Structure 1
Amino acid sequence: MAAGQDDHKFWILGVDDEPQNLEILEEILGDQFELTLVSSGRVCLDEANAAPPDLILLDVNMQGMDGLEVCRRLKAEPDTSEIPVIFVSAYSKLEERLAGYQAGGDDYVTKPFDDEELLIKVKLALATKRQLDSLQQSSTDALDVAQTALSASGEAEALLHFLGAAYPLNSRADLGKSMLDMFECYGLRVVLRIESEEGDLYLSHEGDVGPLEQEVLEMGPDDGRFIDFGRRTLAKYGGVSVLIRNMPVEDANRHARWKKTWK
């Protein structure tokens, strides 16, 4: 049973076809989390569909079905699409990490495991998932009403309100906060990168921004085009990059209208 209550441990499903790697996961995580360890992508899908875990640690290179395909199948099913996935692999090239992100993964850890790095990334992914679950449960009704009310004219009004509020702002932090508030009017959860000579500033509705999402934001196109990663969409406007975590792909009209609004 998935955890989330204070008196329960979070439940992590670890997937790797090398027994020694599963043993290492047990050593690092076994004291703090409830672990189920399996050795194939097929068994991972069966376990996740039977009872969704709080997090999946998924090896990329496995015999049979590889981790990328497993993740794509998890993200395609409503009952498993919201499970955070951290890929684990001996490969660490940027294009490989981005392939994992495009498949629906949330982060990437390289082998051999660094104990501290793995724990930090697991705890960050679980904290983000818990925040999203709490937000969704507490605001579902209000968000349904808001999204119904936000017609094309309502969305344009929200954009104009943001532009009016942003004009007098003097700091990047204030600009970022105003942008987060504006996107929230659309029911969108985002990660921002604001560039300047002082260094890049990263902000999100969930607080922390992981290294993989920072790398994704750095690859944004400069001409305002959108890059889609399943439910996630990346765009860049001048010195501001935006990564939308919950693009409304299930609502074709709203999806197309939102993109048109920002052209």
Structure 2
Amino acid sequence: VNQLRTPNIAMIAAACGFDAVYIDLEHNPTSLETAAAVCVAALGMGITPIARVTSHDPHDATRILDCGAQGVMVPHVQNAAEAKAIVDACLYAPKGHRSAFGSGPALGYAALGQAEVCRRLNEETLLMAMIETPEAVSNAEAIAAVEGIDVLHIGASDLSTEMGIPGQYQHERMRAAFETVAKAARSHGKAMGVGGVRQDFEFQSWLLRLGVRYLTGGSDVGYILSAGRADVKQLRELKLS
């Protein structure tokens, strides 16, 4: 979700068959209130609301979790220390130090004691560390080893740009980076994700064989532009006779 400001987008995503709706708070002006509404709508439709937060500020992550997100994606994680800080902020004791919050949207406001709230949210909260620089790739093994981190997610656009090969996702250096992160994730029983790679089914199949299990689809803007441009092209080709 990049630009649309209505919770209906979660219903549309569910109708399309997506497993999750991903709210990008890093690059777009979506408010916390709007993001919360999308999260609640996603929960009601049975798909997973995930939010990419703006920074490493712990309150960015915990506030959207309190609002109903079931997962947070943290950008630009460079090392194990930063990964540990994510876990510390987003999970309850003894795994972290998240501020105690009752049974909110993520648990359907169920009548649960605080101990059960903490246990369930610790089990059900997805923590994704974004790997977006060569430094992060070199530290992938240490990041993957952090208990509580569930997914190592490569931001292919940022990583390729940092490498000086923007958009060249199949470049040999990018393939080597994918392989390094996949090996690190696999060795520690973590999942691997990739964002930014679209409409190249052969390459996406290679990523799946490598071990990727979280592939980001398109954005609201991208889908609207694609469909709109296709229709405009077709309409302009209509003939009067």
TM-score by length of 2: 0.33
TM-score by length of 1: 0.31
Higher strand share: 1
Q: Which structure has the higher relative contact order (CA within 8 Å, separation 6+)?
A: 2
